[in-house]
């Protein structure tokens, strides 16, 4: 359990991009799981960590992401309030601890964990975080996906289908999105993070270019009625992803221009090129500097 908590803290440290030293142990006991009915037996669950999506079927539930290990009982209770059947399939959008912390506990109750092959690889041996140097501890074998895929796959349960597809080198190198066509619900993983600067895990294969390409894929897939569950932040729609994609492209273009003019990473951070975007997001200067560094490293990798 302690190993899971430390992994969770490492992930939170990066995701919140808070100043060093400002971290405190999350109070999981205070977390309440909020359930939003998206229609057609499909729900969004929000607690602490990545947003979750649940598809209820007559053969059990399909759950997308599992937040932190200490929240398992609360997540399970929230699902029990919408279906008497347990989670049979757990799909991970990527390897980060705030999306996979509950894996072992759900697997112990019979859920098959499904993810891109690089989720399994990164859970076994993650690279140190690019900004903090923190290395998430290895997770127990029980938390690893047993069914992996590389390009696209589908999961079928109780007459419902989850379409799963990989977006290369975006938030990480193992990102999946999950689309429930019958409910017109799209779970994006952290390629879409709203209300703050997203994280790009460049040490584990993430890249701003893939974040934008992934957003483009979501815009192409969605219509105006599609309900879009982002990795973090409020439920959104196609228009919301279009605006988010434009923000990402602006960040990329400004930092690419500074790189083209010969600026170092320190120069680019000092130029504070995302100040206006930080104001719009309500993000502090540390978060803006961190995101600037991650975009810089995406566009101009070391070596
Ligand atoms: Zn993440």
pLDDT > 70? residue 3: no
Q: Report d(CA 48, CA 176) in Å as an integer.
A: 20
Length of the chain: 303
Distance of CA 287 to the CA centre of its chain: 17
Residue 15: pLDDT band by 50, 70, 90 thresholds? very low
State in Å: Cα 261 to ligand 1 middle: 31
State in Å: Cα 46 to ligand 1 middle: 15
pLDDT > 50? residue 2: no
Across the chain, what does the average pLDDT equal? 92
Residue 18: pLDDT band by 50, 70, 90 thresholds? very low
pLDDT > 70? residue 39: yes
State in Å: Cα 36 to ligand 1 middle: 22
CB atoms under 10 Å from CB of 188, counted, come to 33
The mean per-residue pLDDT over the stretch 279-297 comes to 98
> Helix, strand or coil for residue 64?
strand
> Helix, strand or coil for residue 163?
strand
State in Å: Cα 199 to ligand 1 middle: 7
- Residues 199 and 191: beta-carbon distance below 8 Å: no
170 phi-psi bin (left φ>0, alpha ψ -120 to 50, beta other): alpha
Sheet-wide strand order for 175-180: 152-157, 160-167, 175-180, 185-187, 227-229
Q: pLDDT by residue (tens digit) across 112-140?
A: 999 999 999 999 999 999 999 998 887 99
State in Å: Cα 79 to ligand 1 middle: 23
State in Å: Cα 94 to ligand 1 middle: 7
The mean per-residue pLDDT over the stretch 242-267 comes to 98
State in Å: Cα 50 to ligand 1 middle: 7
| Nearest CA among 67, 41, 70 for reference residue 54 | 41
Distance of CA 271 to the CA centre of its chain: 29
- Residues 295 and 209: beta-carbon distance below 8 Å: no
State in Å: Cα 200 to ligand 1 middle: 8
Q: Token digits for 30?
A: 């205070």
> Helix, strand or coil for residue 186?
strand
For residue 107, what are the CA distances in angstroms to 65, 143, 195? 12, 7, 32
> Helix, strand or coil for residue 88?
strand
Domain boundaries, the chain: 2-243
The mean per-residue pLDDT over the stretch 254-276 comes to 97
Residue 51: beta bridge partners? none
Residue 24: pLDDT band by 50, 70, 90 thresholds? low
The mean per-residue pLDDT over the stretch 243-249 comes to 98
The mean per-residue pLDDT over the stretch 147-164 comes to 98
Q: pLDDT by residue (tens digit) across 209-232?
A: 999 999 999 999 999 999 999 999
CB atoms under 10 Å from CB of 101, counted, come to 27
Helix axes of 238-260 and 285-299: crossing angle, nearest 10 degrees = 70
- Residues 297 and 259: beta-carbon distance below 8 Å: no
Residue 167: beta bridge partners? 175
Residue 12: pLDDT band by 50, 70, 90 thresholds? very low
Residue 23: pLDDT band by 50, 70, 90 thresholds? low
Q: Report d(CA 227, CA 241) in Å as an integer.
A: 11
pLDDT score recorded for residue 8: 39
Q: Report d(CA 149, CA 164) in Å as an integer.
A: 9
pLDDT above 90 coverage of the chain, percent: 89
State in Å: Cα 171 to ligand 1 middle: 7
- Residues 58 and 70: beta-carbon distance below 8 Å: no
- Residues 63 and 158: beta-carbon distance below 8 Å: no
State in Å: Cα 96 to ligand 1 middle: 5
pLDDT > 80? residue 257: yes
Fold (topology level) of 2-243? Metallo-beta-lactamase; Chain A (3.60.15)
Neighbouring residues of 76: CB distance < 8 A, sequence distance ≥ 6 = 87, 109
State in Å: Cα 98 to ligand 1 middle: 7
The mean per-residue pLDDT over the stretch 170-187 comes to 98
């Amino acid at each position: 359990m302690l190993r899971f908590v430390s992994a969770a803290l490492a992930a939170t440290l990066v995701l919140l991009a808070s100043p060093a030293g400002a971290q405190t142990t999350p109070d999981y006991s205070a977390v309440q799981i909020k359930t939003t009915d998206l229609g057609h037996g499909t729900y969004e669950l929000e607690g602490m960590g990545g947003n979750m999506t649940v598809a209820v079927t007559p053969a059990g539930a399909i759950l997308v992401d599992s937040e932190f290990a200490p929240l398992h009982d609360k997540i399970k209770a929230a699902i029990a309030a919408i279906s008497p059947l347990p989670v049979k399939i757990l799909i991970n959008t990527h390897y980060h601890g705030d999306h996979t912390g509950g894996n072992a506990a759900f697997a112990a109750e019979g859920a098959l964990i499904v993810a891109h092959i690089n989720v399994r690889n990164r859970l076994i041996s993650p690279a140190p975080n690019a900004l903090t140097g923190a290395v998430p501890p290895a997770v127990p074998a029980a938390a690893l996906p047993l069914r992996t895929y590389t390009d696209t796959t589908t999961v079928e349960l109780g007459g419902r289908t989850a379409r799963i597809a990989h977006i290369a080198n975006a938030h990480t190198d193992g990102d999946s999105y999950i689309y429930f066509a019958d409910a017109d619900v799209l779970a994006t993983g952290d390629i879409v993070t709203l209300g703050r600067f997203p994280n790009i895990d460049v040490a584990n294969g993430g890249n701003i270019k893939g974040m934008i390409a992934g957003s483009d894929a979501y815009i192409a897939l969605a219509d105006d009625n599609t309900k879009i569950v982002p990795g973090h932040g409020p439920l959104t729609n196609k228009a919301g992803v279009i605006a988010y994609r434009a923000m990402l492209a602006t960040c990329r273009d400004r930092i690419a221009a500074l790189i083209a003019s010969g600026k170092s990473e320190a120069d680019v951070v000092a130029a504070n090129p995302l100040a206006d975007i930080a104001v719009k997001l309500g993000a502090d200067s540390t978060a803006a500097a961190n995101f600037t560094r991650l975009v810089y490293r995406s566009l101009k990798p070391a070596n």
